Amino acid sequence: EIVQHTFTDGGYYVVTLTVTDESGLKAQTHLGVNVLPGHSNGGSCSGSTGSCGDGNINPLAIITSKYFSCTSNGQVGQAITMDGSASRPGVGKMVSYHWDFGDGSTEVGAAVSHVYSVPNTYVITLTVVDEGGGVGTAKGAISIGNVACY
């Protein structure tokens, strides 16, 4: 039997399938599903094949940096590296990566580094654009110097 479900919001969901035989014995399996925000009319997904059509899907922006942890603050004058290459396009390939470091500075590129000059907690924003023109955004907080993490 094919079952279909439409998620109304993007996010990570765990889907559980329970099968019961004629004698009442049950078996379960779980599958994690990452639903991308911004899926509009025209796209489709098939539960029987696990594949999705092209539709208008916004990309998923992902920032990685060892400094997004309260146990590893960056320091003033230190180059802080950030990588957006794990981001996933909705359609085609990624065409741009734009970084806002929260201190008035910006940069472009999948992997970048930045040096902060003032101790503070900053919100870093990565905005990605794919070949279909879809836009995705991710944010992360980084503490520079002896500043409390939030």
What is the model's pLDDT at position 139? 84
8 Å CB contact between 142 and 125: no
Q: Which residue has the higher pLDDT, 63 or 101?
A: 101
Q: Regarding the domain delimited by 79-144, which CATH topology (the fold level of the hierarchy) does it fall under?
A: Immunoglobulin-like (2.60.40)
Full-model pTM: 0.61
pLDDT tens figures, 118-144:
998 888 999 999 998 888 888 888 888
pLDDT tens figures, 93-118:
999 999 999 999 999 999 999 999 99
Q: Give residue limits of the domains in the chain.
A: 11-52, 79-144
Question: What is the rounded distance in angstroms from the CA atom of residue 96 to the CA atom of residue 110?
Answer: 8
β-strand 111-115 against 135-144: which pairing, if any?
Answer: unpaired
